[in-house]
C-alpha cells in the first residue's frame, strides 16, 4: 500500500474476521507485547493471549486473542489465532462461573494442573480486559 497503511488479516480456524487497513497494531507475543507500524521489518512470531489493539482512521478496535502466530510481511500483517473475541463480546458472567468451577476443581497430575492454571490465567485476563 502506497499510503503508508498496514493491511490486517485476522483469521481463526472458523473464518476470516478482519481484512482491513490499519494505521498501527499492538498484540501479545508469547514473550511480550509488540507494536507494529508501517515499514516494520518482516517477522514471524508466536502469539500469546491478550489484547489486540487496532488503530485505524475509523478509530480503535480491541479483541481478545488466544495464541497462534503472527506474520509481518511488507504491509500485510497476518494474525492466525485460535480464538478472537471483541472485548464487548466477552460473556463475563459465564467466565466468572467457569472461574469459580475451575478454582474448586481438583487435579490429579501435573499436566491437568498446568492446563487448569493456563485456563484460569486466560479467564482472568479476559475479565480484566472486559471491564
**CATH number assigned to the domain comprising residue 22:** 2.60.15.10
Per-residue pLDDT tens digits for 71-95: 999 999 999 999 999 999 999 999 9
Q: Pick the residue with more confidence: 3 or 6?
A: 6
Does residue 125 fall inside a structural domain? yes
Same-domain check for residues 37 and 83: yes
28 and 60 belong to one structural domain: yes
The parent domain of residue 46 ranges over 6-87
Residues 74 and 99 in one domain: no
In a domain, 105, yes or no: yes
Three-state DSSP at 119 gives helix
In a domain, 97, yes or no: yes
Residues 6+ apart with CB under 8 A from 41: 72
d(CA 72, CA 41): 7
Domain end marker among 54, 70, 87: 87
Query: Is the residue at 10 inside a domain?
Result: yes
The mean pLDDT value of the chain amounts to: 93
On whether residue 108 sits in a domain, the answer given is: yes
Residue 3: pLDDT band with limits 50, 70, 90: low
d(CA 6, CA 102): 40
Q: Is 90 left (phi over 0), alpha (psi -120 to 50) or beta?
A: beta
The number of distinct structural domains making up the chain is 2
d(CA 37, CA 80): 18
The C-alpha atoms of residue 95 and residue 124 are separated, in whole angstroms, by: 9
Contacts of 125 (CB under 8 A, 6+ apart): 49, 50, 64
Arithmetic mean of pLDDT, 53-62: 94
Cα-Cα-Cα-Cα torsion 76, 42, 2, 7, nearest 10 degrees, comes to 20
Whether 46 shows a pLDDT value over 60: the answer reads yes
Amino acid at each position: 500500500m502506497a499510503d503508508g497503511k498496514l493491511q490486517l488479516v485476522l483469521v481463526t480456524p472458523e473464518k476470516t474476521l478482519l481484512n482491513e487497513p490499519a494505521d498501527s497494531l499492538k498484540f501479545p507475543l508469547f514473550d511480550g507485547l509488540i507494536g507494529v507500524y508501517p515499514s516494520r521489518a518482516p517477522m514471524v512470531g508466536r502469539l500469546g493471549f491478550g489484547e489486540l489493539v487496532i488503530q485505524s482512521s475509523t478509530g480503535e478496535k480491541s479483541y481478545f486473542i488466544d495464541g497462534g502466530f503472527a506474520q509481518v510481511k511488507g504491509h500485510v500483517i497476518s494474525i492466525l489465532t485460535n480464538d478472537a473475541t471483541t472485548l464487548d463480546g466477552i460473556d463475563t458472567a459465564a467466565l466468572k462461573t467457569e472461574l469459580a468451577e475451575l478454582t474448586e476443581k481438583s487435579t490429579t497430575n501435573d499436566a491437568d494442573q498446568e492446563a487448569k492454571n493456563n485456563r484460569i490465567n486466560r479467564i482472568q485476563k479476559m475479565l480484566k480486559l472486559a471491564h
